[in-house]
Structure formats: C-alpha cells, structure tokens
C-alpha cells in the first residue's frame, strides 16, 4: 500500500495507448489473443505480422524493447516444455542435426512458442500501459460481476501488505537463527503460513469493520465512471481488427 498503488509492471507515461480507456484496452488485448490462438500454425508469416503489430503498439506506447523482452522471461518454464515436444510427440519423424524429431512435435512446439509468446507480450503491454485501479475499473466496465472485481481489488491492494507481512516473518525467523534446509523444517514454515492466514483473515475482518463504519453496504461507490467514445473504441480495436485480417489471410492462403 505504501507503493502508491502502482504495480511494478506499470510504466508511467502519457502515450496515446496510456490514455485509452482501460476497458477498450482489455477488450482489444483479449480479442487480439483470441485471433492469434485461432490462426493456423502453418501460416508462419502471420505470426511475424502479429509480432510487428505488437511492436507498433509498443512503439506508440513508448514501452522500451528491453522492458518488454525482460518481462517475456516469465514464459521460460514453458519454453522448456515446448523444447521437449519434438522428442516425445508421435508421427512422422525427421532427422535434424543427428536427432530424430517428430514433425508434428516440431509444429506443436512452434505453435505453443509463437502463440504463447504473443499472448504474453500482449498481456505485458496491457499491464505496462494500464494502471491497476484503471484495470479493475475496466474489468467492472466489461460487466464482470462487481463482487468479483471487489475481491480482485482487495487482493491487489492487500497483496503487498500480506507479502510484506510474510517477509517480516521470514526476517523474524532468520534473526532467531532459523534456516530452512529440508523437509524437517516444513513444520516451522507451515506454522508461519498458518499464522499468515490468521493475520490475513483478521485483517479482513478489521477492514470490513472499518468499511462498515464508513457506510459500506455491499457495493463500492463508483466516483469516476470510465466511458469510451466511439473514436477511442475504434482506435483500440485497430489492433485486433488488423490481426483478424492477417488471420483470415492465413486461413485462405
């Protein structure tokens, strides 16, 4: 909470993409990923074009390439999985550098890598250009159940608090000479987790009481209703529509 409500992934800026209403950006990112996923994997050039489209968005949003690529590292665990695919998939096999690889597996690996990377890049761009509170407002605007949005907003707001609490407990453990080395120490760690749960739950009760004493009756007041003009919608939806054209070309060619 002390972090000014801005998450680490957000890059402050005043680009046209930053200025778009959040729900248009959410819709655009989601539609884009749907289009990417439904593109046939044989149309390799289409994925190149998608990457170019995202590059244009990143340029307009003034998100530096280093930031984007750094954030892409999150998909590393599953790159490893994709690399395994050509070895375990069945079907016709082909020899590459003395290794017998499955053609189908190679296509599968390509499919997952290309679509997964594009999906992650789209999410990263969305998170980098949209403030947290805006994102939640956008979700509410997109008719997600208000209760779900409230839960999400509490999770986000108190996520740092709870993580900090966990960090303090770790420091307390370590300052008393504890060092978790193996299974034998799980009991201590689990006790910390239990204490963390109790503290979180009790904090939830306190937060609720504090809210009730300020007039909370089950729904949060919306002070700043976000609206989007037709121009903003069409501006945001340029990305998925361009992608859709590429996708249709990919299916027909």
Mask for 158-197, x = binds other proteins (CB under 8 A): xx-xxx-xx-------------xxxx-xxx-xxxxxxxxx
- Residue 231 CB, shortest distance to other proteins, in Å, is 25
Q: CB of 208: closest distance to other proteins in angstroms?
A: 4
**Measured between alpha carbons, how far is 30 from 237 in angstroms, rounded to an integer?**
10
- Are 243 and 35 contacting, i.e. CB atoms less than 8 angstroms apart? yes
Instruction: Indicate the residue among 108 and 250 with the shorter CB distance to other proteins.
Output: 108
Minimal CA–CA distance to 12: which of 67, 86, 88?
67
Strand-pair partners of 96: 99
| Alpha-helical regions (H) of the chain | 16-19, 22-37, 44-60, 65-72, 76-88, 103-129, 132-141, 146-175, 186-213, 230-236, 238-252
Q: Output the smallest distance, CB 44 to other proteins, in A.
A: 14
Closest approach, Cβ 200 to other proteins, in A, equals: 4
Q: Distance (Å, rounded) from C-alpha 36 to C-alpha 25?
A: 16
- Which one of residues 74, 99, 171, 253 is an interface residue with other proteins (CB under 8 A)? 74
Beta bridge partners of residue 42, listed in sequence order:
none
The DSSP letter of residue 242 is H
Instruction: Pick out residues in 124-153 that bind other proteins (CB under 8 A).
Output: 124, 126-127, 132, 135, 145, 147-148, 150-153
HSE on the CB side for 225, CA within 13 Å? 2
157 near other proteins, rule: CB under 8 A:
yes
- Between 1 and 40, how does the x/- string for binding to other proteins read (CB under 8 A)? ------x-x----------------x--xx--xx-xxx--
Using CB under 8 A as the binding rule, whether residue 43 contacts other proteins is answered as no
- CB nearer to other proteins: give 51 or 152: 152
Find the binding residues for other proteins in span 81-120 (CB under 8 A).
85, 88-92, 102, 104-105, 107-109, 111-112, 114-116, 118-120
């Amino acid at each position: 909470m002390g972090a000014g409500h801005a998450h680490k992934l957000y890059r402050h800026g005043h680009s046209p993409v930053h200025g778009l209403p959040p729900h248009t950006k959410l819709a655009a990112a989601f539609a884009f990923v749907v289009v990417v996923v439904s593109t046939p994997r044989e149309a390799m050039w289409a994925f190149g074009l998608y990457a170019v489209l995202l590059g244009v968005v990143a340029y307009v949003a003034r998100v530096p390439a280093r930031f984007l690529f750094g954030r892409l590292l999150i998909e590393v665990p599953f790159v490893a999985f994709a690399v395994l695919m050509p070895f375990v998939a069945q079907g016709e096999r082909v020899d590459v550098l003395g290794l017998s690889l499955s053609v189908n597996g190679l296509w599968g690996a390509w499919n997952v890598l290309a679509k997964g990377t594009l999906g992650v890049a789209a999410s990263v761009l969305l998170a980098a250009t949209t403030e947290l509170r805006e994102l939640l407002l956008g979700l509410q605007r997109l008719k997600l159940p208000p209760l779900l949005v409230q839960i999400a907003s509490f999770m986000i707001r108190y996520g740092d608090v709870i993580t900090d609490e966990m960090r303090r407990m770790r420091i307390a453990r370590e300052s008393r000479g504890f060092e978790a080395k193996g299974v034998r120490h799980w009991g201590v760690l689990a006790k910390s987790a239990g204490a963390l749960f109790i503290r979180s739950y009790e904090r939830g009760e306190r937060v609720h009481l504090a809210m009730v004493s300020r007039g909370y009756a089950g729904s949060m007041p919306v002070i700043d209703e976000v609206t989007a003009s037709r121009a903003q919608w069409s501006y945001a939806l340029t990305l998925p529509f361009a992608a859709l054209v590429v996708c249709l070309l990919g299916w027909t060619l």
